[in-house]
Amino acid sequence: MNTYEIHRITEGPKRHLIAKGKIHKYKDLPQEAQLAIAHYMGVDGEAWDLGVFEGVDSSWTHQQRADNIVANLKKALPEIVQAHADFELGLVTVPTAELIELWGEIDSDATQDFDGDFDAYHVWYQKFRHQHDGRGGGDNPTWPVILSGFHDELLEDGWHRFHQYIENGAEEITCLWYPH
C-alpha cells in the first residue's frame, strides 16, 4: 500500500471552493483528472514511479520531451489507474472569478509582489512563461489544476494551466484537491 502526504483544505479560506465538489476514487475520475494527478505525482514529483521517461532524449526541445512524456503517460494510464485505483481525490468546478478573488486574499509572495493586482500578475506571468520556457498547459489546457492545502498558496500544481484558462476566457476551472 502506498502512502501519500496529504494536506487538508477542508478548513480555512479554500473550503468554500470545494463545497460543491465530490470525492472520487482515482479509478473513477475523468481521464483528464487522472492524467493531471499522474503527471504531478510521477513526472513533476517522485511519489509514483511511472516509468514514463523511456525513450525521452535529453537533446530534444522541452516541448518534444513534454509531448513524449505525456504520450507515455497516456499509454501507461491503465496500469497507473490500476495501481492507484482507490486513492481518493476531490473534484470540483469553480468559477474563475472565485479563484482569482481567493488569490488576492492569500498572503503569498505573488500577491505581495503585485499588491493584490491579479491582472498585473497575470500579464507578467504569461509574458514570463512564454519568454522563458513557452511551456506548460499549452494553448488549450484540459487538465484540472490542483488546489493547495497550504495557507499561503492557491494552487499546488497547474499554474501554467490556470493562467492559460484565464487567457482563454474560461468562466470555470476544474480543480482537484486532497480530501484527507
124 is a domain residue: yes
Supply the range of the domain harboring residue 116.
15-177
Measured between alpha carbons, how far is 67 from 50 in angstroms, rounded to an integer? 16
In the prediction, which pLDDT does 4 show?
A: 37
Count of domains in the chain? 1
9 is a domain residue: no
* In the predicted structure, residue 12 carries a pLDDT above the cut 90: no
Give the residue-averaged pLDDT of 20-42.
Answer: 95
SS3 state at 172: strand
For the full predicted model, state whether its pTM sits above 0.95.
Answer: no
Cβ count near 91 (within 10 Å): 18
71 is a domain residue: yes
6 is a domain residue: no
- Amino acid type, 126: Q
Give the residue-averaged pLDDT of 131-160.
Answer: 81
Rg (CA), the chain: 16
pLDDT band at 89 (very low <50, low <70, confident <90, very high): very high
4 is a domain residue: no
Residue with cell 499522474: 38
Give the residue-averaged pLDDT of 73-92.
Answer: 95
Per-residue pLDDT reduced to its tens digit, 14-30: 788 888 999 999 999 99
Measured between alpha carbons, how far is 51 from 53 in angstroms, rounded to an integer? 6
118 is a domain residue: yes
8 is a domain residue: no
* In the predicted structure, residue 7 carries a pLDDT above the cut 80: no
Give the residue-averaged pLDDT of 113-118.
Answer: 90
150 is a domain residue: yes
